[in-house]
Amino acid sequence: MNARRKIRILIADDHFIVRSGLVSLIHAETDMKVVAEAVDGGQAVELYRKHQPDLALMDLRMPVKNGNETIELIRREFPGARILVLTAFSGDEDIHRALNAGAQGYLLKSATSDDLIPAIRAVAAGEPWIPNDVASRLAVRSSYGSLTAREIQVLKETARGKANKEIADTLAISKHTVKDHLKNILSKLNVSDRTEAVTSAVQHGIIEL
């Protein structure tokens, strides 16, 4: 990247205070500037298309389109887009989905400016940015089997407090099939009952309550 040219940044976060803080932090650096601010995923796609920044700094939980949907849409239209996720979501499944969607970096909102500024420079230069705390969470994910789409559906219904028959009726499957799915879920998450399964799934970012 040309040293004389500032890194042009799009911020996508639905919280005004977060965006304002990031703008102030970024504008304190001589080699970068914020060119656009998006309050939701849909606007982020539109503003990326309009400004085509060097980097998009993006939260995962946003209205209209969530962060992963937004990342996928931007990368589909702009395969070379460089995206750094900045979020409070620390679940290993959250991290996996974001990186799988096309983000090159992942940073938690507990990070300091000493973490954020180098991360912006690195990702804008085309380098990945996966801090140790994020990498360790990804390592946890590899220790259990990935749940299938149907198993996740069963888990979501379980989290709503539904009994097996209610889950079977909702998903139009048999009670026996529900029991099989639950057995697989417990095994993959390495837990002993449904309550632990729901708790573990929420911690890992597999489902949200």
Do the Cβ atoms of 103 and 84 come closer than 8 Å? Answer: yes
> How far is 142 from 137, CA to CA, in rounded Å?
9
pLDDT tens for the chain, 209 residues long, are 445 689 999 999 999 999 999 999 999 999 999 999 999 999 999 999 999 999 999 999 999 999 999 999 999 999 999 999 999 988 888 888 899 999 999 999 998 889 999 999 999 999 999 998 888 877 766 656 678 889 999 999 999 999 999 999 999 999 999 999 999 999 988 899 999 999 988 887 788 77
What the block records as the tokens of 34 is 């914020």
Q: What is the CATH number of the domain that holds 162?
A: 1.10.10.10
Q: What is the DSSP annotation of 74-143?
A: HHHH-TT--EEEEES---HHHHHHHHHHT-SEEEETT--HHHHHHHHHHHHTT--B--HHHHHHHHHHTT
Same domain, 200 and 133: no
Provide the domain count of the chain. Answer: 2
Both 136 and 51 in a single domain? yes
Assigned domain for 169 exists = yes
Q: Is residue 47 domain-shared with residue 130, that is, in the same domain?
A: yes
> 134 near 95, Cβ under 8 Å?
yes
Range of the domain at 111: 7-141
The reported pTM is 0.74
> Which residue, among 6, 8, 9, 1, has the nearest Cα to 31 in the 3D structure?
6
For the chain, how big is the Rg over CA atoms in Å?
Answer: 19
d(CA 130, CA 65): 24
